[in-house]
A and B are shown apart, each in its own frame.
Chain A
Amino acid sequence: EADIYQTPRYLVIGTGKKITLECSQTMGHDKMYWYQQDPGMELHLIHYSYGVNSTEKGDLSSESTVSRIRTEHFPLTLESARPSHTSQYLCASSEERTPNTEAFFGQGTRLTVV
């Protein structure tokens, strides 16, 4: 069973609020990722990190930002939430050393901005 946790699971928030989605893993993985998934759609990579103090933007442009101060923690922040940010956000992690592994995913945060 994967040891990667996301909080909150569900969040309903008003337009203009600042929000932070939390993601933590206890597997010691160097690589971590954030994916965005609109209802009934595929997942798109929005941010990834290869280790502490390393962050990169993914294939899908996003107004969110991320930080990686500790190996186990990879929070995602929206400075001013808008209804267009309504989506599911999934966090994942994988090992550094070999590609012959798989990414482990958290349960996701379903964000609704009203």
Chain B
Amino acid sequence: AQKVTQAQTEISVVEKEDVTLDCVYETRDTTYYLFWYKQPPSGELVFLIRRNSFDEQNEISGRYSWNFQKSTSSFNFTITASQVVDSAVYFCALTSSGNTGKLIFGQGTTLQVKP
């Protein structure tokens, strides 16, 4: 069975602090895809990043960075110098079906960035 665990239910930081959101996944498949989505209060899911199981390179995009480690089945997300606009619920998700819409979601981490 596949599973995604986001152990941090809520995180609260002060603006400009760095914050890391943890994601641990379980799958027996050798080919799989991992995603991070952001859900602002408006409700939609905004795609942030996709990583396939063959690509363990870490990625940086502006203030966002992702650390993918197959050895620990983790795909952690770091926001550097957080801003109030980063406040949202963040979901980590997994699929191995080759169908990138059939996702197994984690429970989500609510990030609150205070001014």
**What B residues does A104 contact at CB under 8 A?**
47
Contact indicator B91/A43 (Cβ below 8 Å)? yes
Given A32-B101, A41-B108, output 5 extra A-B contacts at Cβ < 8 Å: A59-B104, A92-B45, A93-B101, A100-B52, A102-B35
**What A residues does B110 contact at CB under 8 A?**
40
Distance in angstroms between the alpha carbons of A77 and B37 in the assembled complex = 27
Partner among B45, B99, B104 whose Cβ is within 8 Å of the Cβ of A105: B45
* In the complex, the 9 A-B pairs of residues with the closest C-beta atoms, listed nearest first: A103-B101, A105-B45, A94-B101, A108-B43, A42-B105, A107-B44, A99-B98, A33-B101, A102-B47
B residues within 8 Å of A by Cβ? 33, 35, 37, 42-47, 50, 52, 91, 95, 98-108, 110
Q: How many residues of A contact B (CB 8 A)?
A: 30
A 71-107 contacts with B by CB, 8 A: 88, 90, 92-94, 99-107
Contact indicator B100/A94 (Cβ below 8 Å)? yes
What is the distance, in angstroms, from B114's C-beta to the closest C-beta of chain A? 20
Listed residue (B37, B42, B101, B102) with the most chain A CB atoms within 10 angstroms of its CB? B101
Partner among B44, B52, B91, B99 whose Cβ is within 8 Å of the Cβ of A94: B99
